[in-house]
Structures are given as C-alpha cells and as structure tokens.
Structure 1
Amino acid sequence: MTQFTIPTVETQRLTLRGPTQGDFPAVAAFYASDRSVFVGGPMTAEATWRHLACEIGHWALLGYGRWAVVEKTSGAICGIVGLWDPEGWPEPEIGWDLFDGFEGRGYATEAALAARGFAYDVLGWTTAISLVKPANTASARVAGRLGARRDGRFDHARFGTLDIYRHPAPEAV
C-alpha cells in the first residue's frame, strides 16, 4: 500500500487538513442538499462516499488535493477547499465547496487563499484557475475577492458550461 501524508495548513480561523472517513456525515449532508447543485449534486449517500474517496485519492495520485476545512472555534467541518486537477480538467484549479450555515463569513476566501499560497509557494505552480457555473454568483464573488478574473469558458461533459477565472500569478499576490 502506498503511504502519503496530507499536509495541514492553518489560517487565522481555519484548519485545512486531509479529508477522512469521519467527515462523511457532513460531506453527505452537503451533497444531499440543493446547496451542492453547482458542484455535481445532489448525490446519493453512495455517490458521496465515492466522491469522498476520490477527494482522498487525488492526494495519493497527484500529491495535492482538497482539504477538509475545519472551523477552529467549533471544530466543525465547514467545507472542502483546495487544489483539483482530475482527468478532463483544462488545468489545475483552486476550488471551494462551503457547507450550509458557514457561508457569509469569508471562510471560502480565507481557505482558498491558503490553498493558492500552498500551490504557489510549496508546489511551484505559476498559474491557477477556478471553474464556476455561470449562475453561481456567490462563487464568482469569491473568485473576484481572490483577484481572479474571467478568462473564457470551458464546456465539461458532466458539469456543462463553466466560467474560467484566472488567478493572479505568484509574483502578483
């Protein structure tokens, strides 16, 4: 069995740590809800379990991935945020899924900034994108707060048309 370690990243209010089987109830609740409509949901519990396994496997395959985001004050998992580049993606992405009840606090922006810092400073990325469904105005606002600008569209077989938001280069942040 291949062993790998998912690094932990700390921000002022959040801990970004590797996703685990113990996160399944919170992840399943998110993907069962309409809140997940822009990121492939709603999903059944079985499909969500497979998706969680995919999130963890991404780390093993590529050496980076998305973290479970934990609110330091409560210890609650409030989302999944990080680096994503599965087969069929146009280029490496910084993505965020914030769970119900945690929106409006700046958590998506805070976690995505930490993820982008990791991509640029640790992995040596020179560019990054975020893909956002055109109707997902909340995620488009997060992309804007991160300094990302619309840079075309991408048509995905499963997710449909997505707006590409290009993040500033490392030397610009």
Structure 2
Amino acid sequence: MTLLTIPQLETERLIMRAPSEADLDADTAFFASEAAKFVGGPLRRDEVWRVFASLLGHWVVRGYGYWSVDEKDTGAYVGRIGLWFPEGWPEPEIGWTLMNHATGKGYATEAAMAARAHAYDVLGWETAISLIDLDNHASKAVAKRLGAQFEYHYDHPKYGRSEIWRHPAPGDLINGGMEAYA
C-alpha cells in the first residue's frame, strides 16, 4: 500500500491540510444544516463519513483533492476547499465548502486562491471551473472575487441544473504565482 502524501498549504490566515476523521463532528453538523443543500445535503453521519472517505480517495486516484482548512490563529476547522474532478464531472473544479460559523470572513476566497495557484503552478492546469448551484449566491460572489465568470448552465445527473463559472487561465493572471491572486 502506498502512503498518501497531501501537501500542506498556508495562506495569511489559514492552514490547508489533509482531511482528518477529527473533522467528522463539524462536517456532520454542517451536513445536517440548511446550508448543506448546495453541496448534496442533508446527509446522515454515516453518509458524511463516506464523503470524507471519497475526499481521501480522490487524492489517491487523481493526486489532488480537497484540503481541510483551519484558522492559523485558533486552529479551528472552518471547512474544506480544493480541487475536484470525479468521474462524470464536466471539468476539473475549484470548490469550497465552509462551516456555518466561518462564512463572511473571506476564507473561501483566500483558500481557493491558494488551491488555484497549486492547480496552475504545481499541477500545470490550464483552466478550472467552479460548479455552483443556481441559488447559491454566496458561492457566486466568491467566484466573482476569484475573477471567474459565468460560462454556461450544466445539467448534473444527480444535483440538477447548475452554473459553470470559468476561472481565469494562468496566462490571464499577472504572473501565475500567489501574488497574482491577491
């Protein structure tokens, strides 16, 4: 068996680390809330555990995935943000899911910038999308702050009609590095 190595990323306020089973209680509470409707919820605890397992499996299969995100100052878990391209997805995605207590602080934008820099600078991606529920206005605002633009509607076989937001390509950013996303 190969050991899984997930790189740790840091931003000004956040640490992006490997998903951990220690996140399960917070994720279970989130997926029981109304906010989870935009990311496949509500889910029972056993279903949340399976989501956690799929996050780790994605790292094994694709070599990238979602990071768990903690506040640097407090160590508090604030959500998961990262790179996603499961079977059946239209294109590689930059996605974010914040716990309810962590919204409105700019964490999704900050961590998604770091994830995008990793996708472009380390993995060599030439493009990325974010797949966003039609009614998820907060995620659309994050996409706009990241410079993404609405491109088309996508009919997801499980989640229904969604919007595809296209991120700027590496060449469209100032110099491709983290400072280009600030």
- TM-score tier by shorter-chain length is over 0.9
Does residue 116 (structure 1) correspond to residue 105 (structure 2)? The answer is no
SS in 2 for 1:162: strand
Question: In structure 1, what residue type is equivalent to 2:32?
Answer: A
Question: In structure 1, what residue type is equivalent to 2:83?
Answer: L
> Using the alignment, how far apart are the partners of 2:21 and 2:61 within structure 1?
18
Where structure 1 has 5 or more consecutive residues not aligned to the other structure, the ranges are none
Deviations 1:48-106 (A, max 9, x none): 00001001110011100000010111101101000000011000000000101111110
How far did 1:136 drift? 0.4
Task: Find the counterpart in structure 2 of residue 13 from structure 1.
Answer: 13
Task: Find the counterpart in structure 1 of residue 132 from structure 2.
Answer: 132
Identical pairs, percent: 54
Task: Find the counterpart in structure 2 of residue 156 from structure 1.
Answer: 156
How far did 1:157 drift? 1.3
How far did 1:2 drift? 2.1
> Using the alignment, how far apart are the partners of 1:106 and 1:145 within structure 2?
10
Q: How many residues align?
A: 173
How far did 1:166 drift? 0.2
Question: In structure 2, what residue type is equivalent to 1:88?
Answer: G
Task: Find the counterpart in structure 2 of residue 44 from structure 1.
Answer: 44
How far did 1:107 drift? 0.3
> Using the alignment, how far apart are the partners of 1:32 and 1:42 within structure 2?
5
Question: In structure 2, what residue type is equivalent to 1:124?
Answer: G
Deviations 1:100-155 (A, max 9, x none): 11111100000000000000000000000000011000000000000000110111
What is the correspondence of 1:1-173 to structure 2 with a 5 Å cutoff?
Answer: 1-173=1-173
The normalised TM-score by structure 2 is: 0.94
The normalised TM-score by structure 1 is: 0.98
Question: In structure 2, what residue type is equivalent to 1:81?
Answer: I
How far did 1:28 drift? 1.1
How far did 1:30 drift? 1.0
Where structure 2 has 5 or more consecutive residues not aligned to the other structure, the ranges are 174-182
How far did 1:27 drift? 1.1
Write out the 4+ residue segments of structure 1 that deviate beyond 4 Å after TM superposition. Answer: none
SS in 2 for 1:101: helix
Question: In structure 1, what residue type is equivalent to 2:97?
Answer: D
